[in-house]
Amino acid sequence: MFRSSIHFRAPLAGLVVAALLAGCAPAPMTPAGQSSSSAVPPEYQARPDGDRVVPPVNPAYLNERNRRRWVDYTGPEGKDTIVIDPYARLLYHVVEPGRAMRFGIAVGKAGKGFSGNAIVGRKEDYPYWQPTANMVRHDPALYGPLAGGLKGGLDNPLGARALYLYRNGHDTYYRIHGTMDPSSIGKATSAGCIRLFNQDIIDMFDEAPLGTRVKVRSRAESLELEGPVHELHTGYVVPEAAVELIAADEAAWQAGQITDPAILEAQQHAAAVASAEARGSN
């Protein structure tokens, strides 16, 4: 079972295709800063990792759907299976019949370009990342300076670890990986596959050997098993039945308390381009 599972029972904190998949990583943004705090659950505190130290996760990002937790699992998948729901933005690691560890995930456009069964066919510790030719053509300002690739590290879009999914012996170009942008977890992103907090992918990497079965749900399967979800103005999703949360989000939006996502995306893109230019010149 998970190495630090003793902590997972703590109370919750608050609330196209092959070409795109080949570039299954988020935009190479500048890492978001965090500071350690007693408010950070033990499993998300700063963590030594070889010659690196993984920063703590800002507790503001650890809402109920993002923070990992034990749940009863009612899906048809059996023990030792990873189940990805890109529509509900959840990942389950089924560790025993009817019981799973649930994680919040960020989902890029490529994350909805694959469904069905696969296995973990390759694992990488601090993986190398390189944008595809298609990514460079689509956004030369962002990806052009990094066309030569980035070595592994905490400032790499794939984060601390990556699991590579294979089907029938072939790479699907679908990845489960860490992130340099923990604020993105629980949200849809402009690029990439499936990303988790670095602390989560580190533990999953250790608990998911090569050959681990993976199921990626279709939209129909997500609706059947999770029910419909509603995307808030903050970018997170909640069940459509969470009417009070949805109403509060709408009121905050109308009051101007939530920044327009389009403005945030433009700001993030500008910061990412500046970061890419700086790293590309080194």
DSSP state of 175: E
24 is catalytic: no
Catalytic hit among 24, 93, 138, 193: 193
> Rounded to the nearest 5°, which phi and psi values hold at 62?
-100, 60
Catalytic hit among 24, 93, 138, 177: 177
Separation CA 133–CA 146 (nearest Å): 11
Element (H, E) at 134: helix 133-138
Written as six digits, the tokens of 236 are 């997170």
DSSP state of 50: T
Neighbouring CB atoms inside 10 A of 24's CB total 30
Beta bridge mates, 165: 120, 174
Using left for φ > 0, alpha for ψ between -120 and 50, and beta otherwise, residue 222 falls in alpha
94's CB contacts (< 8 A; 6+ apart) are 73, 75, 77, 78, 79, 80, 81, 82, 83, 100
The β-bridge relationship of strands 116-125 and 106-107 is: unpaired
Separation CA 214–CA 24 (nearest Å): 17
93 is catalytic: no
> Rounded to the nearest 5°, which phi and psi values hold at 183?
-65, -15
Beta bridge mates, 99: 72, 96
Separation CA 201–CA 232 (nearest Å): 26
Written as six digits, the tokens of 262 are 């389009």
> Rounded to the nearest 5°, which phi and psi values hold at 65?
-85, -20
Catalytic residue ranges: 177, 193
